[in-house]
Amino acid sequence: MQTLNEASQTCPQCCCSCTTPFFNSPISSHNTKPPQQRNSSAEWRHSFAVTTTSIFPNTQFTNHESLPSLHESFNEFTKVYPQYSDTEQVDYVRAKDYFHLSLSNQTCLDYIGIGLFSYSQLQHHDTSKSQLPSSSVPQTPQFQPSYSDSIPFFSIYCKTGSLKTLLLHGGQDSEFEGAMRNRIMSFLNISEKDYFMVFTANRTSAFKLVADSYQFQTGRRLLTVYDYESEAAEAMISSSVKRGARAMSAEFSWPRLRIQTTKLRKMIESKRKKKKRKGLFVFPLSSRVTGARYPYLWMSIAQENGWHVLVDACALGPKEMDCFGLSLFQPDFLICSFYKVFGENPSGFGCLFIKKSAISSLESSPSAGIVNLVPEKQPRQSSDYSSGTDLELMRNTTPTSPHEERPFPLSSFSGPMQTKQSEIVEEGEEPTDSNLKAPQCSEIEEIQEPVQTLEKSNVQESCIQCGCLDQVDSLGLILISNRSRYLINWLVNSMLKLKHPNTQGVPLVKIYGPNVKFDRGPALAFNIFDWKGERVEPALVQKLADRSNISISYAFLHHIWFADKYAEEKGKVLQTKVVGDKGVVTTTNKKKDTVGITVVTAALGFMANFEDVYKLWAFVARFLDADFVEKESWRYIAINQKTVEV
């Protein structure tokens, strides 16, 4: 096994941000490392935090009208982060391919990674139609991009059968699918010598596919590390438990939601000297809700103790796989997802990577979720497609015989959408106006219209239009990471400066997870509290944000551990999530899987700019006005015909 110092050099670009997960490793004390290098790293991070908190020094904002203007704030921002000007190439890409965000005055802070529609993806393939899908976006013929027939149009075909059989005896890729596979593996820096890649219907399908195929008879444990309720993880847990697995979860310490290292180590480490396969360890590289990043060496601890490791890379930002150190850790399974990325097929799909040596850990059991990408040869009517949840789609497309292929209802974008906020919003939340104006990053089922035929001769790798991936490749890891680091930390620091008037500095915002931190992710979980200390309902915050053309969401944090000194606070903050009309209620119930905290969430994609984070800050500051909160609360109660705590 490589030392910690060697591991920190796995990123070819050797930027400071790349080494972050290793410096925070829970076993760093077991590795030798020059004191000077360790001190330099700590000093660098400390210096960044001090620099960030120097913004608005000794200042509290108690009135939303007292906030500095966008121009004044940006000038202060660039003084503190002069390197931000080096990222202006992102602004150029945004102005060229995502200008519709500015035209519609839309701020999209409900996605993470690269899942955001470009202008060309919002266009029908027929260039004679210049009408945008949303009437809120003005027509701008002078900006209409030109199209060529080389843009791929493909359908997703669902097939069932055994994952293991497919891996061992699967047929050759089509020319089109092979080109897509090569482009994705190249983007993620994954070698086909080491891994098989399987296209899945979505992220949830990939997790369930592993759960349905893994040999829990020899390794009965399933250990997950999620600080929020994830539909994909819950689907895996449910399926695994039915197959005899014992499900366990890591816990996270209040209030910063750091991993409870002692408890997790105890669950991972073997008590017996004789090696015995433990089960499946499911490890997200970062939280897509709180922005917490987790030390990568937890994977090494698990591998050394006989676990198979599944890495959830869905919350990674663009190009961050370059820093993961895949060759060092070699997980048995890796899952990522691509939504709103490829040409005029923004709905996307999931990707499951299986290490070739891990095939023996699977059994030949029937499972759903595997798909093929097939270029369109016949136009389809919109009635051929349907919408629904992931599970409904899998049930509706179940073939009558093994490995039979049937069309999956995902193809090129051109019609109305139904958005299912599967990873962020509680199930049952209805789409809002902003959902329609700016589609969100969650898995999408669309109602389609006919698409043009794509001849096989055009299905060449050189013709695969992966504009979003090409943009990310051209921008590079360092530029994207630095930009998001400046923006998210400015937002965190600015949120903490909002205080209620005449209350001796009662904070307006409570942040869950890391505060200002050099290596935090670009996601933020928070709640807003009124001057009496009562929480404003996250659903209300989201609806008011929608009205202001700001797309944010909310999530449910769980598996939270409270030290004895926080015992009194525990009873006040924890809630029980109840499915149905009663929603989430305050409780002292100790059942871990249903107890947690509903929070507002915001996440920055690689296209985010300073104006986006400023607009969110200014919107949150409106809640300093007690009259505004009371008025909107009563309006929310009247519309929903139910009482909420505000």
Please tell me whether residues 103 and 241 are part of one structural domain. Answer: no
Identify the pLDDT of residue 112: 80
Indicate whether 624 belongs to any domain. yes
Say if residue 370's pLDDT is above 70: yes
Average model confidence (pLDDT) for the chain?
75
Which tokens is 310 given?
């599944």
pLDDT average, residue stretch 600-605:
95
Indicate whether 644 belongs to any domain. no
Identify the pLDDT of residue 272: 65
Indicate whether 510 belongs to any domain. yes
Lowest mean pLDDT among 42-56, 124-138, 591-605: 124-138
Predicted confidence (pLDDT) per residue in 174-219, tens digit: 888 888 899 899 989 899 999 999 999 999 999 999 999 999 988 8
| Residue pair 200/209 in contact by the 8 Å Cβ criterion | yes
Predicted confidence (pLDDT) per residue in 488-515, tens digit: 999 999 999 999 998 887 899 999 999 9
Q: What CATH number is attached to the domain comprising 623?
A: 3.90.1150.10
Indicate whether 440 belongs to any domain. no
Identify the pLDDT of residue 452: 32
Say if residue 528's pLDDT is above 90: yes
- Cα–Cα distance list, 282 to 86, 229, 513 (Å): 37, 14, 20
The DSSP 8-state label assigned to residue 608 in this structure reads -
Identify the pLDDT of residue 521: 92
Please tell me whether residues 83 and 227 are part of one structural domain. Answer: no
Identify the pLDDT of residue 340: 75
Predicted confidence (pLDDT) per residue in 534-547, tens digit: 999 999 999 999 99
Say if residue 18's pLDDT is above 60: no
Between 323 and 48, name the one with better pLDDT. 48
What percentage of the chain exceeds 90 in pLDDT?
45
| Residue pair 106/549 in contact by the 8 Å Cβ criterion | yes
Please tell me whether residues 496 and 633 are part of one structural domain. Answer: yes
Q: What is the Cα–Cα distance from 446 to 382, expressed in whole angstroms?
A: 9
Please tell me whether residues 347 and 220 are part of one structural domain. Answer: yes
Please tell me whether residues 91 and 176 are part of one structural domain. Answer: no
Lowest mean pLDDT among 109-113, 408-412, 576-580, 631-635: 408-412
Identify the pLDDT of residue 268: 95
Identify the pLDDT of residue 617: 98
Q: What pTM, to 2 d.p., does this model score?
A: 0.79
Please tell me the total count of domains within the chain.
2
Indicate whether 295 belongs to any domain. yes
Predicted confidence (pLDDT) per residue in 436-458, tens digit: 333 333 332 322 333 333 334 34
pLDDT average, residue stretch 100-125:
79
| Residue pair 308/240 in contact by the 8 Å Cβ criterion | no
Say if residue 411's pLDDT is above 50: no
Tell me which of 375, 409, 440 is where a domain ends. Answer: 375
Tell me which of 335, 359, 375 is where a domain ends. Answer: 375
Please tell me whether residues 206 and 317 are part of one structural domain. Answer: yes
pLDDT average, residue stretch 385-389:
31
Please tell me whether residues 509 and 616 are part of one structural domain. Answer: yes
Domain span including residue 502:
52-116+476-578+592-638
Please tell me whether residues 101 and 232 are part of one structural domain. Answer: no
Indicate whether 305 belongs to any domain. yes
Element counts in the chain: helices (H) and strands (E): 21, 24
| Residue pair 583/589 in contact by the 8 Å Cβ criterion | no
Please tell me whether residues 65 and 189 are part of one structural domain. Answer: no
Q: How would you classify residue 246: left for phi > 0, otherwise alpha for psi between -120 and 50, otherwise beta?
A: beta
Identify the pLDDT of residue 346: 54
> Please, what's the b/e burial string for 476-511 (b: 16 or more CB within 10 A of its CB; e: otherwise)?
ebbbbbbbbbbbbbbbbbbbbbbbbeeeeeebbbbb
Say if residue 408's pLDDT is above 70: no
Identify the pLDDT of residue 492: 97
Which tokens is 513 given?
């997870």
Please tell me whether residues 110 and 203 are part of one structural domain. Answer: no
pLDDT average, residue stretch 50-57:
90
Q: What is 211-246 written as a DSSP string?
A: HHHB-TTT--EEEE--SB--HHHHHHHHHHHHTT-E
pLDDT-based confidence at residue 641 (cuts at 50, 70, 90): low
Tell me which of 375, 405, 439 is where a domain ends. Answer: 375
Which tokens is 540 given?
């209300």
Which tokens is 467 given?
């504009």
The DSSP 8-state label assigned to residue 138 in this structure reads P
Q: What does DSSP say about strands 110-113 and 366-375: parallel, antiparallel, or unpaired?
A: unpaired
Q: What is the Cα–Cα distance from 524 to 526, expressed in whole angstroms?
A: 6
Chain-centroid distance of CA 599 in Å reads 15
Query: Residue written as tokens 């055994």?
Result: 162
Going by C-alpha positions, the residue among 249, 246, 247, 239 that lies closest to residue 213 is: 239
Please tell me whether residues 178 and 299 are part of one structural domain. Answer: yes
What percentage of the chain exceeds 70 in pLDDT?
70
Predicted confidence (pLDDT) per residue in 549-571, tens digit: 999 999 999 999 999 999 888 98
Q: What CATH number is attached to the domain comprising 263?
A: 3.40.640.10
Going by C-alpha positions, the residue among 458, 627, 620 that lies closest to residue 542 is: 620
Which tokens is 411 given?
């193809």
Between 123 and 450, name the one with better pLDDT. 123
Report helix, strand or coil for 332: coil
Between 598 and 395, name the one with better pLDDT. 598
Indicate whether 416 belongs to any domain. no
Which tokens is 179 given?
């080109």
- Cα–Cα distance list, 486 to 320, 482, 619, 623 (Å): 17, 6, 20, 25
Say if residue 137's pLDDT is above 50: no
Please tell me whether residues 506 and 561 are part of one structural domain. Answer: yes
Q: What is 458-498 written as a DSSP string?
A: G--GGG---HHHHHHHHH-HHHHHHHHHHHHHHHHHHHTTB
Predicted confidence (pLDDT) per residue in 245-301, tens digit: 999 999 999 999 999 999 999 999 977 655 677 899 999 999 999 999 999 999 999
- Cα–Cα distance list, 169 to 157, 161, 210, 562 (Å): 19, 12, 18, 50
Say if residue 138's pLDDT is above 70: no
Q: What is the Cα–Cα distance from 225 to 606, expressed in whole angstroms?
A: 25
For residue 333, with 0-12 CB atoms within 10 Å meaning exposed, 13-18 middle and 19 or more buried, which class applies? buried
Indicate whether 23 belongs to any domain. no
Q: What does DSSP say about strands 550-551 and 221-224: parallel, antiparallel, or unpaired?
A: unpaired
